[in-house]
């Protein structure tokens, strides 16, 4: 994720950069930040670089944050604009510019920055779904993108990770399946079997071949449509890479 910080107050810009860096370390994600100390410098940079999000100070000399955001919106309406302000005086102007959020500077704390970055990642589709459940006295959270497949085993559910490690928890399979039903990379290929298309190495007439070499069977009557679902997913993934 690439983030710009546009603020003519170098001390506050450095503090925000450190908060973002700490968030990235905690979440174990890659975040690149670029700092600009004027609206003019930022707008000029837009000809050569794009950003997923920008933290924009409203009050700056010469070109203020409102004008810089308007120029950004003309070039890249996808970028999430988070305004930084010492007062709420110009919030309505920010709303008119389709701002994603705003932060009053005296509220610029780790929890507030973490929340807005989580929202940005979710909005841009950069955040993997997390499967959450309780097993006994344990609260479990498993990122869905590290799993090859998930299988029902009676009153238990088996999770197989990208490394092939198998974990078995006492949780209903359908409670897990409901949490990934809207994830495009997951497919209920048979009763009690969820596969992650990102780990399908090949397909046969009646099975998906997984990265760990296992064959996960397809529902016989739905096999053609399940294979088409996989092909469509791979095609979309290739198109997004171009």
| DSSP per residue, 64-107 | -HHHHHHHHHHH-TTSEEEEEESSSTTHHHHHHTT-SEEEEGGG
Cβ-in-10-Å burial (0-12, 13-18, 19+) of 55 comes to buried
Mean pLDDT of 5-19: 95
The per-residue pLDDT for 59 is 86
Determine the average pLDDT of the residues in 17-40.
Answer: 89
Q: And the tokens for 172?
A: 């209903």
- In this prediction, residues 121-134 reach a mean pLDDT of 81
How confident is residue 95, by pLDDT bands cut at 50, 70 and 90? low
The pLDDT confidence band at residue 127, using thresholds 50, 70 and 90, is low
Report the C-alpha gap between 160 and 150 in whole angstroms: 6
Q: How far apart are CA 115 and CA 110, in angstroms?
A: 9
Give the three-state DSSP class for 195: strand
- State the pLDDT confidence band at 237, using cuts at 50, 70 and 90: confident
Average pLDDT on 9-22 reads 94
Residue 110 has pLDDT above 80, yes or no: yes
Of the chain, the percentage scoring pLDDT greater than 70 comes to: 92
Q: Give the H/E segment covering residue 60.
A: none
Residues of the chain within CATH 3.40.50.2300 domain(s) are: 2-124
Q: Which of 22-26, 151-155, 216-220 has the lowest mean pLDDT?
A: 22-26
CATH architecture of the domain 2-124 equals 3-Layer(aba) Sandwich (3.40)
Residue 98's contacts (CB-CB under 8 Å, 6 or more residues apart) are 73, 77, 81
**CA-to-CA dists, residue 164 to 15, 55, 140, 148, 167, angstroms:** 41, 40, 19, 8, 10
If residue 207 lies in a helix (H) or strand (E), which one and from where to where?
strand 207-210
What SS3 state is found at 31?
coil
Is the pLDDT reported for residue 128 higher than 70?
no
pLDDT at 171 over 70: yes
**Structural class in CATH, domain 130-241:** mainly beta
211-235 confidence digits (pLDDT tens): 999 999 999 999 999 999 999 988 8
Start and end residues for every CATH 2.40.50.1020 domain found in the chain: 130-241
Instruction: Name the pTM for this structure.
Output: 0.56
Mean pLDDT of the chain: 89
Query: What's the burial of 68, exposed, middle or buried (CB within 10 Å: 0-12/13-18/19+)?
Result: buried
């Amino acid at each position: 994720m690439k983030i710009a910080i546009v603020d003519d107050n170098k001390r506050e810009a450095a503090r925000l950069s450190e908060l973002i860096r700490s968030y990235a370390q905690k979440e174990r994600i890659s975040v690149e930040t670029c700092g600009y100390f004027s609206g003019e410098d930022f707008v000029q940079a837009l000809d050569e670089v794009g950003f997923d999000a920008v933290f924009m100070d409203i009050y700056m000399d010469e070109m203020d944050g409102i004008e810089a955001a308007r120029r950004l919106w003309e070039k890249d309406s996808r970028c999430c604009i988070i305004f930084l302000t010492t007062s709420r005086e110009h919030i309505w102007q920010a709303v008119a510019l389709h701002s994603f959020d705003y932060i009053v500077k005296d509220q610029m704390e780790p929890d507030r920055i973490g929340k807005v970055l989580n929202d940005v990642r979710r909005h841009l589709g950069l955040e993997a779904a997390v499967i959450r459940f309780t097993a006994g006295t344990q609260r479990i959270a498993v990122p869905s993108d590290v799993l090859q497949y998930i299988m029902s085993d009676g009153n238990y559910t088996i999770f197989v990770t990208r490394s092939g490690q198998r974990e078995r928890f006492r949780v209903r399979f359908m409670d897990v399946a409901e949490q990934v039903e809207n994830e495009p990379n997951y497919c209920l290929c048979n009763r009690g079997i969820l596969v992650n298309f990102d780990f399908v190495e090949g397909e046969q007439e009646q099975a998906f071949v997984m990265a760990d070499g296992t064959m996960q069977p397809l529902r016989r009557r739905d096999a053609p449509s399940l294979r088409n679902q996989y092909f469509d997913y791979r095609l979309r993934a290739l198109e997004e890479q171009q």
